[in-house]
Amino acid sequence: MRRKRSAADQQIADLLVTAKKSLDLSVAFLSRMDGTTQHLEVVETSVPVLVQEGAKVHQDTSFCQAILDGRLPAVIPDVEESPLAMSLPAARIPRIRSYVSTPVHLSDGSLYGTFCAFGFRSDKELGKRDEALMKVLASAAAVIVEPEVRDQERRTEIESRLEPVVGDGGPVVLLQPIVDLASGTRVGAEALSRFPAGWGRTPDVVFAEAHSVGMGHALELQALERAAEHLDRVGGYVAMNVSPATVLTPGCGALLHRLPLDRVVLELTEHDEVEDYDVLLATLAPFRAAGLRLAIDDVGAGFSSLRHIVVTSPDVIKLDRSIAAGVATDRVLATLVGSLVTFAHGSGARVVAEGVETAEDATALRALGVDYGQGWHFGRPGPPEALAVPAPRPPVEARPAEVLAPVAALSR
């Protein structure tokens, strides 16, 4: 049975048909050489019984390898005239008698494999011109296979990086304090995954990579599992990040069933499109009824979070760092934050500001009505032990007149 061809393979097949017809040979194929095996990736043949797409042969006893090594010429009009060619397995089965092979090189010069055609009869007319045509077709084939090769390399690299982490039960999960801006007491913490520093990638990038190779749900569930383990070690709620797609997996439901839901906040970001809000909401409904709170993450970051908010009626909205940081000195941001607070409170949601790095911003945010703050000013993400003893900072002094003045000025 021939596997279904990809669009790229179909393009290769068209090149092979051209080769086969132009050279008037019975078979043309593109092979990939992996060092030990020659894979006949795409095959156009007049005799499918003898040569099949997907077939594999030993690379070192193949015609192509002998040609790559220079032991045989690139064009062999009559195999029977060469004792070496006659000694190769393919001279007996499928009884090759004429052969043309050109290497397929990728843009970095590496060898991908070969672009070939052969016949079951000798063909004295095969010559340099045929080889020239095959070379042109081979370079066209190289351009077509290159993206697939690079994508496969990317996938392999990601998989081999992630496998040890998954094998180890998932990423390390740190906790970052979330603080009541009015009292300075910690009310909860956000669980944030940490991957090996050497990867040089933020966790959102790693999760996106994992999803791109089909490991995303597993990795997210492991991160949730690890975040949930922290519930026993710290007070307050634990906010856990999860993508809308992972929420829909049975594994996520099973996990949520085991948790003290009144201490869990799920943070949903809109980086990933929500395909069907009804399904998402229906999946979450029983857990929300049992106390689970829902936060919409990254509000104001430029994604369509407002729609997310309207549709999901979350318990918490989290203002993105890009609109919370610097609010003390930026009246436009202050106006935006003020409006979002009004909007959130009007729909019964609490507001957390992220990326609070300075006391000035904390003060300004409080004055604008933001309920909670999270950021380096209150504490960096760290191990749960760092949170175990709550060390609330003194309440942040609000200076409403100063902070609200620009807002009032703008609204005039």
220 binds, among ligand C2E, Ca ion, none (CB under 5 to 8 A by kind): ligand C2E
Quick one: 130 or 267, whose CB is closer to Ca ion? 267
Q: Which of 41, 53, 298, 371 binds ligand C2E (CB under 6 A)?
A: 298
Coil, helix or strand for 234?
coil
Question: Secondary structure of the chain: what % helix, strand, coil (to 5)?
Answer: 45, 20, 35
Pairwise CA distance, residues 25 & 95, whole Å: 13
Asked whether the CA dihedral 366, 370, 372, 375 is positive or negative, the reply is: negative
Query: Minimum distance from CB of 52 to ligand C2E (Å)?
Result: 44
- Contact segment (CB under 6 A) with ligand C2E among 71-79, 241-249, 342-350, 399-407 equals 241-249
Nearer to ligand C2E, 29 or 378 (CB): 378
Interaction site with Ca ion (CB under 5 A) = 241, 267, 297-298
What is the rounded CA–CA span in Å between residue 391 and residue 379? 10
* Torsion of Cα atoms, 107 then 111 then 113 then 114, to 10°: 80
Per-residue contact string for residues 170-189; x = within reach of ligand C2E by CB under 6 A: ------x-------------
Residue 366 is encoded by which pair of tokens?
Answer: 């409080």
| Least gap, CB of 297 to Ca ion (angstroms) | 4
**Distance in angstroms (rounded) separating the CA atoms of residues 352 and 341:** 10
C-alpha 132 chain-centroid distance: 41
Shortest Cβ distance from residue 227 to Ca ion (Å)? 11
Is residue 258 classed as helix, strand or coil in its secondary structure?
Answer: coil
Q: Does 379 interact with ligand C2E (rule: CB under 6 A)?
A: no
Strand order in the sheet with 37-45: 56-58, 37-45, 27-33, 111-119, 98-105, 75-76
Question: Which region among 90-98, 121-129, 161-169, 349-357 touches ligand C2E (by CB under 6 A)?
Answer: 349-357
In the complex, minimum distance from the CB of residue 56 to ligand C2E, in angstroms, rounded to a whole number = 40
Residues between 194 and 213 that touch ligand C2E (CB under 6 A): 202-204, 207
**Minimum distance, C-beta of residue 196 to ligand C2E, in the bound complex (Å):** 14
HSE of 323, CA atoms in CB hemisphere, 13 A: 26
**From candidates 192, 259, 309, 349, binder to ligand C2E by CB under 6 A:** 192
User: Rule CB under 6 A: which residues touch ligand C2E?
Assistant: 176, 192-193, 202-204, 207, 220, 223, 241-243, 267, 269, 297-298, 321, 354-357, 375-376, 381
